[in-house]
Structure 1
């Protein structure tokens, strides 16, 4: 039986491989009525923070961690952010009832949870409520075959959300479920499309059991962690404040998906398109790609396109040139103006 300490702040760790639907679930949590203030920590692998911009407008405290994986290179940042939250709460500057951590899709959730046991202050103040793993039913089989992180996320989960069930057959879903049960027979399984699950099934459920985690990872409470990402996987990010040509963007993405789709683990962005007063959000993984109008650009907001690609064997210079070709060209007196030199995000 899991022991509950009502004096501690509950922490939900939200994980899942790239493109599984974590941000969709996060937005669902933030928009539904639960009468709780949530401090949200969003971690992204790439240097451009897109997910933080895709989180719905809310009164929640949302903090961003970029340019590294929360389970290794920026784990110290997580400790500092949590300590800062506690200090701000004691000073009366912020108020929150629980913490929700959305990890990068390449994170191993074990060392994230370990943080709350190895740091004395955090251990006294916080309590891990549950680890929620979102699974992309369409692509997870391939991810499980080739990426250790996808296996770790399922093996360490307390709740597994089998998302995008509408994209596979019932037979394939049963096969996937059988494989997941072999990896983690004790996790609660939920099913949905666009992560349309009940919040009562994922928040305040107190399913994190330290003894069970030690069975999964006997070294869980040892203060060391060596998590190496596939050295073929990298991220490439761009930022541009000149408007893009929508037709050229569509042509570029269609060609890129055809040529490189299998190696594109995740790609996403906020686009500033010539002649359109709304932001354009695009997201994709492998061969699946979608774009949609978002909110209008605010009056005093800097209009800027930000894109990030996470994938295998990415050719940075080639992607840079392709993106440069999408910048809208101004016409002066019927003549096309030469594009200014492209500046990569730094």
Structure 2
């Protein structure tokens, strides 16, 4: 399968994050020293300051490769150096089963994750596998409740929000009822993350490494029970998760326009989001995920809708100050509605000015209309509004102008729509 081939030919990268003193280095040492998993890792380790505070511990405890990114936080001031460090490892990755990036305790893992979305050279060698967040069971509620000055983010909350796995460490120091309260608070921020209770960072490495959390096909495995409810706010944080699920199909181009607007206006508050969507006129499921303003999605040939399967849409958002009603209305606004025109109807299509034509197909390759112009060219009408397709005006009246940022039409064989 294609996914298996990708996993074999690129090296998985795990981002290991957690607040100061949570036990990240203890966990990392456990992974490196564990004799059972039989795996070898390259380590990129970073803390504030000119000398990494954990360097001696790690080097004394293991003979694994260690690369240290100096002078600041991986996810901000030395983000470029992270890319260079990974590229320097390219000739050595054949000898490793994965790369682990241990971030500083004050790091937001979002920019680190974004590196793997935008750097195509890195994508040829590595794939982002997952984000693991370690929290101190005894003190995490204090960190989550901590009030920050205006404009300053709560790093602990953001680390939990980005996580695929949350390791609730040092559980031996906390009563059972307090652990339950802590888990409830974590789920209030990120209801989609798996929580693993640990002591001294003792956890089977295979539960953390090569989990393929960022593989698009993993989006298909979203827990149906999670989709029934949103994360509940159990503390003062404004970070939460929102899920949307409904039967029906979407207009693909209208959806892309909505997501683009959502990213532009709210991307900084969208930590992670993903979904599986049914698109009208397309036989395959549209699978997507995003981090902040970066988005990756496609129709996957391996996942076609079955004939008796209910075509539905499932979306999950994790972020700051999420408005469930706003998100739900936005995506529901992309649902397919009865079309205004039928095959054979005369229309005008907006192609740098209005051109007369006739509808020749409905829901062609995800577009409501396929139109043959009088010139003989064929175009798509991506959205059923007067901005793109209208009744003939008989040459009278002012013409709409195309969208300011880019044209939508596609000429020739109708298969070259330019988004």
* 2:163–2:193 contact (8 Å) kept in structure 1: yes
The 5 A counterparts of 1:73-222 are: 73-86=77-90, 88-89=91-92, 95-146=95-146, 148-208=154-214, 213-215=272-274, 219-221=292-294
Using a 3 Å threshold, how does the CA distance of structure 1 residues 62 and 179 change in structure 2: closer, same or farther? same
SS in structure 2 of the partner of residue 214 of structure 1 = strand
Using a 3 Å threshold, how does the CA distance of structure 1 residues 25 and 220 change in structure 2: closer, same or farther? farther
* 1:39–1:100 contact (8 Å) kept in structure 2: yes
Using a 3 Å threshold, how does the CA distance of structure 1 residues 27 and 139 change in structure 2: closer, same or farther? same
CA-CA distance at 1:192 after TM superposition: 1.0
Unaligned runs of 5+ in 2: 147-152, 223-271, 275-288, 296-419
The equivalent position to 2:62 in structure 1, one of 50, 54, 58, is 58
| Aligned residue number for residue 29 of structure 2 | 27
CA-CA distance at 1:209 after TM superposition: 5.1
CA-CA distance at 1:173 after TM superposition: 0.9
The 5 A counterparts of 1:327-342 are: none
Q: Which moved more, 1:136-145 or 1:201-210?
A: 201-210
CA-CA distance at 1:116 after TM superposition: 1.1
* 2:114–2:291 contact (8 Å) kept in structure 1: no
SS in structure 1 of the partner of residue 144 of structure 2 = helix
* 1:131–1:208 contact (8 Å) kept in structure 2: no
SS in structure 2 of the partner of residue 67 of structure 1 = coil
CA-CA distance at 1:39 after TM superposition: 0.6
**Partner Cα distance (1:164, 1:58) in 2:** 23
**Partner Cα distance (2:88, 2:23) in 1:** 28
| Aligned residue number for residue 49 of structure 1 | 52
Using a 3 Å threshold, how does the CA distance of structure 1 residues 101 and 218 change in structure 2: closer, same or farther? closer
- Output the TM-score relative to the length of structure 1: 0.59
- Output the TM-score relative to the length of structure 2: 0.49
**Partner Cα distance (1:193, 1:48) in 2:** 28
* 1:71–1:107 contact (8 Å) kept in structure 2: yes
CA-CA distance at 1:214 after TM superposition: 3.0
| Aligned residue number for residue 250 of structure 1 | none
* 2:76 is equivalent to residue 72 of structure 1: yes
SS in structure 1 of the partner of residue 294 of structure 2 = coil
Unaligned runs of 5+ in 1: 223-346
**Partner Cα distance (2:215, 2:24) in 1:** 22
| Aligned residue number for residue 16 of structure 2 | 14
* 1:111–1:220 contact (8 Å) kept in structure 2: no
**Partner Cα distance (2:31, 2:109) in 1:** 20
CA-CA distance at 1:166 after TM superposition: 1.3
* 2:19–2:134 contact (8 Å) kept in structure 1: yes
* 2:137–2:171 contact (8 Å) kept in structure 1: yes
**Partner Cα distance (1:9, 1:217) in 2:** 21
RMSD over aligned CA atoms reads: 2.2
SS in structure 1 of the partner of residue 61 of structure 2 = coil
CA-CA distance at 1:195 after TM superposition: 0.9
**Partner Cα distance (1:197, 1:145) in 2:** 27
